[in-house]
Structure 1
Amino acid sequence: MPASPYDFRAVTENDLPMIGAWIAAPHAAAWWGDPEREIAEIREHIDSVSVEPLIVELDGKPIAYLQAYDPHLEDDHPYQDQPFGTIGLDLTIGEPTLVGVGHGSALLRQFVAQLFAEGTPRVIIDPDPTNARAIRAYEKAGFRAFELRSSVYGPALMMAIDAGDAA
């Protein structure tokens, strides 16, 4: 496998129907809210300073939705206790046939390496504590659980990887 098999590009308005179908699919729907509301929020993020919505592509084909956010740029974000410069991530593999075969952990390793190369000190991710598949993928990508939280977003298993931890 090439060193950087995944491409990350900005979400456009044209991507929103595809993302909506992904988050409404059975493998993802349990971890997302109402698809119409979620798509409205992603639409707002397209021009946001604090959230960067991305499409992950493999061989030119969209396979996942990834958003990177800076909790220090959002008023009252519940993760502002993290070190300054921390970037938070949310990930959904869109294509059901690509779930559970290693893409989540592989694309996260690649993206996190890029963030560390840019000087990010810490990357966090916050899966629902009952989402065992996501937690396993994040652990394979190098994230380690550090706290169980309940916030406006619901229950979250806080997981992090620090620049010094990267291999």
Structure 2
Amino acid sequence: MADYRFRPLTPADKPLFVAWLAAPHIGGWWQDGETEWALVAQEFGTGRVDMRVVEQGGTPFAYVQDYGVHEWEMPQYADLPRRARALDTFLGDVAFLGKGHAARYLRQRCDALLADYSLVAVDPAPDNTRAIRAYAAAGFVQRKTCIGEEGDPVTVMTRPN
């Protein structure tokens, strides 16, 4: 299994982050890079969101963030324990697609989070089958499909401790 490094996202990562979100394989699952960057930039220094760039062998290839499931009004997570974390991610570098990296870095990141939290939750769109497969391979199990905070359906998946 590959070892991944999860370094903090910094303002210097903006060009990489924005370029990743312009890649065709991301289309539809996240907003455009400038919009998403504006959202993550608001969180720098707040301590509410742990934002990381995923690297393998010094090459950055993905983004992952986690936060308390009750940090914001998110109805899909209302029934989860207080000590749970929500996780969002995307694999940006197309050279890393289709090789099992997402499942492996997700497993490694969740293992670290579960040392301190009761469970980790994700909420992909029900038709985002690639993400759902990666989450399942990382040990997540489907709990329910419901309406998320933006009014769209989501599939809530959790990985318990």
Question: One fold, TM greater than 0.5?
Answer: yes
Deviates more, 1:89-98 or 1:148-157: 148-157
Query: 2:127 is matched with which residue?
Result: 130
* 2:25 counterpart (24, 27, 52): 27
1:36-79 per-residue CA deviation (whole Å, 9 max, x = no partner) reads 211100111222322111100101111100011112233x2332
1:98, CA displacement in angstroms? 0.8
- Judged with a 3 Å threshold, the aligned counterparts in structure 2 of structure 1 residues 147 and 83 are, in CA distance, closer, same or farther, namely same
**What runs of 5+ residues in structure 1 fail to find an aligned partner?**
none
Q: Give 1:151 deviation, angstroms.
A: 2.0
User: Aligned Cα RMSD in Å?
Assistant: 1.3
Q: Structure 1-normalised TM-score?
A: 0.89
TM-score of the two chains, using structure 2 as the length reference: 0.93
The one-letter code of the counterpart of 1:131 is: N
| Identity value in percent | 38
Maintained 8 Å contact 1:23/1:29: yes
Match of 1:108 among 106, 109, 113: 106
Task: Quote the residue 1:43 is aligned against.
Answer: 41
Work out whether residues 8 and 53 of structure 2, in 8 Å CA contact, stay in contact via their aligned partners in 1: yes
Give CA-to-partner distance per residue, 1:86-108, whole Å, 9 cap, x none. 00111100101211210000001
The answer to whether the 8 Å contact 1:50/1:71 transfers is: no
1:88 partner amino acid: A
Partner of 2:11: 13
Higher relative CO (Cα under 8 Å, sequence separation at least 6) belongs to 2
How many residue pairs match? The answer is: 159
Aligned-partner residue type, residue 140 of structure 1? A
CA distance in 1, matches of 2:153, 2:35: 19
Q: Could you say which structure has the higher helix fraction?
A: 1
The answer as to whether partners of 1:89 and 1:125 remain within 8 angstroms in 2 is yes
Gapped runs of 5+ residues in structure 2?
none
**Aligned residue among 92, 96, 106 for 2:94:** 96
Provide the rounded CA distance (Å) in 2 between the counterparts of 1:9 and 1:136: 25
Instruction: List, as ranges, runs of 4+ consecutive aligned residues in structure 1 with deviation greater than 6 Å.
Output: none
Q: Give CA-to-partner distance per residue, 1:10-38, whole Å, 9 cap, x none.
A: 10001011111111110112201232211
